[in-house]
């Protein structure tokens, strides 16, 4: 509404803002779970927590573990976890059939799994990426040799070769790493080759060729940055597979040699006591499950994050 002033101009009748009643938001809006779920969807919070716990447990196992994983107390063998009437807080997850602390052995098993996973992924990613780039860039007979070698390695049963190698050379951590790396690089080679076949016809690669850049420079400066995202996603997804395979081989006796604690060998040792001491098998199994799921979820998030088509679909 307007009023006429003495000068003849219109005067606006404006109500002050502070005179308007303030609207109070409901208390339920302050505690809305919507921001929390948006953060959980946008960032891999749970996988990062799982992997962080695994890394801390593996690297600082000697300080995190409350007991020595090798010390046995036969008088207290098969002691129940602490929440049972006969349990003790000194051994929160109980004791195994030899009187060894299950919680400490699970923590040291994380150290073994971390060593194997990092070693296998490093070797497999280096070999597979190199051969895949060579096959994709040069093509022709180089591509034929690499791809036939990949198909040959994929057709060989891993468990059979691992069992035979254990019989011939004996079980050891080094042998396990070599066998797993030998069967893990073909996945990197196939995927990197596919990416390089697409990248080698890109304009910046062709310009580098015309300008006289050497193949090593083209690989290092132009092709490798283009396949790093793919290699990172494959490596993250393969960690869970490597840990699971190592556990299977340890369960079969072709993995980490005793008495070194490994999740698979702990399950193998405790299976005969499953009906009377379920905790010997259950807690290593839960550790394997949670670790594999954590790395798989992180790999899925990385794949969705690096793929622009999946980002647009969101």
Where exactly are the structural domains of the chain? 44-313
> With 70 as the cut, is the pLDDT of residue 170 above it?
yes
Contact 188, 129 (CB under 8 A): yes
pTM confidence score: 0.81
Residue that wins the pLDDT comparison between 211 and 312: 211
pLDDT digits (tens, 9 = 90+) for 75-133: 888 889 999 888 888 889 999 989 999 999 999 999 999 999 999 999 999 999 999 99
Query: Distance between CA atoms of 186 and 127, rounded to whole angstroms?
Result: 9
Query: Distance between CA atoms of 112 and 103, rounded to whole angstroms?
Result: 15
Does the domain at 44-313 match CATH 1.10.10.10? Answer given as no
Query: Distance between CA atoms of 45 and 41, rounded to whole angstroms?
Result: 9
């Amino acid at each position: 509404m307007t009023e006429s002033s003495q000068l003849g101009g219109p005067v606006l009748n404006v109500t002050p803002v502070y005179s308007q009643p303030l609207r109070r938001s409901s208390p339920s809006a302050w505690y809305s779970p919507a921001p929390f779920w948006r953060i959980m969807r946008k960032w891999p919070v749970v996988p990062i927590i799982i992997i962080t716990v695994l890394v801390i447990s593996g690297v600082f196992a000697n300080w995190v573990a409350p007991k020595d994983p090798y010390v046995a107390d036969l008088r207290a063998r098969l002691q129940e976890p602490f929440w049972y009437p006969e349990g003790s807080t000194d051994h929160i997850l109980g004791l195994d059939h030899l009187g060894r602390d299950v919680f400490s052995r699970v923590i040291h098993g994380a150290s073994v799994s971390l060593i194997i996973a990092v070693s296998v992924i490093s070797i497999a990613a280096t070999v597979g990426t190199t051969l895949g780039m060579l096959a994709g860039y040069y093509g022709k007979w180089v591509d034929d040799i690499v791809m036939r070698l990949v198909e040959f390695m994929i057709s060989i049963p891993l468990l059979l070769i691992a069992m035979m190698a254990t019989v011939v050379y004996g079980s050891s951590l080094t042998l396990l790493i070599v066998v797993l790396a030998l069967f893990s690089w073909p996945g990197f080679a196939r995927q990197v080759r596919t990416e390089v076949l697409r990248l080698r016809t890109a304009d910046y690669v062709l310009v580098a060729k015309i300008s006289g850049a050497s193949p090593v420079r083209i690989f290092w400066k132009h092709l490798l940055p283009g396949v790093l995202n793919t290699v990172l996603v494959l490596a993250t997804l393969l960690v869970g597979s490597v840990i699971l395979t190592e556990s299977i081989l340890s369960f079969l006796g072709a993995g980490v040699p005793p008495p070194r604690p490994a999740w698979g060998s702990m399950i193998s040792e405790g299976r005969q006591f499953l009906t009377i001491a379920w905790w010997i098998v259950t807690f290593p199994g839960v550790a394997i499950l949670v670790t594999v799921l954590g790395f798989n979820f992180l790999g899925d998030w990385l794949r969705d994050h690096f793929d622009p088509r999946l980002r647009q679909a969101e």
